[in-house]
Amino acid sequence: MTPAVETPVRDPRTGDTSGDLDAPWQVIVLNDDHNTFEGVAYALAAVLPGVDFDRGMSFANRIHNSGRAVVWSGHKERAEHYWEQLKDFGLTMAPLDRI
């Protein structure tokens, strides 16, 4: 006779889930005094999928008028990638934020 085998049971998640790559993250650009509207629009169009120059200008206006704009949201790894690229273009970035 074979002994009974217990199947382990996982406890539900508790505590900090900041490492969860599936949670949506926000890439936020802040208004500043050194980037032009055209420069912001160009950077956004060059980095973000689905953003052309005209949409970049719309984001630039939103950033200027409200002080910030969420320009992309999604998986953490892609958010980090886009955040770094936009920062490399010289845009002023807010820290990555979870939705």
DSSP 53-74: HHHHHHHHHHHHHHSEEEEEEE
Per residue in 8-26, pLDDT (tens digit) is 444 444 444 455 556 799 9
- Domains of the chain in sequence order: 25-98 (3.30.1390.10)
Per residue in 79-96, pLDDT (tens digit) is 999 999 999 999 999 999
4, pLDDT greater than 90: no
What do you get for the CA distance between the two ends of the chain, in Å? 53
SS3 76: helix
Which segments of the chain does DSSP mark as H helices, in order?
A: 37-47, 53-66, 76-88
SS3 8: coil
**Stated pTM of the model:** 0.78
